[in-house]
Amino acid sequence: MKLFGMTLLLAGLLGACTPSAGVLEPGKSALPQVLAQMGQPSMVWAGENGALLMEFAHTPPGHENFMARIGADGVLISLQQVLTEENAALIKEGMSRDQVRQTLGRPARVDAATSGRSGEQWHWPLDGARPPVWQLDVQFGASGTVMDVHRSRTQPGTRS
């Protein structure tokens, strides 16, 4: 009986550490259910007609970032894991920081620009390896728009 109780407690704690988006249903789940399941959003943007875009970032240390679209009625429209190769391919020169963040979620790491440029560089892990082997690097200029996008191998001992 004691072992069963400990197993149940451990399962509950693990569930709290890694939110499962699977129990949320678009068109049915209300905002309080989304928050109870996913936790507090790391960023919220106001959308059209009272809708919200909510970011639930798990980087670092994880490899997932979720975006929830909530309608003006407070009901979940969609919930997607956005840190994907498909979304990485959408990042283009000229995009703003907000556009990039709304596409991929919070970066795992932000560094000062390289090669004597002004601005900054954002990094996201692109694979599920621990530690990640590949990352997406997005260089922003001083104006806050994307100047360069590329993939690179992570350096041993760095966190992305």
- Quick: pLDDT tens for 80-96: 999 999 999 999 999 99
Segment 34-68, tens digit of pLDDT: 999 999 999 999 998 999 999 999 887 778 999 99
Domains of the chain with CATH codes = 25-81 (no CATH), 85-153 (3.30.1450.10)
pTM score of the predicted model = 0.79
In angstroms, rounded to a whole number, what is the distance separating the alpha carbons of residues 138 and 115?
A: 14
Q: pLDDT at position 63, please? A: 83
In angstroms, rounded to a whole number, what is the distance separating the alpha carbons of residues 109 and 42?
A: 15
Residue 145's pLDDT band, with cuts at 50, 70 and 90, is very high
Q: How far is CA 77 from CA 28, 59, 69, 158, in A?
A: 9, 23, 5, 37
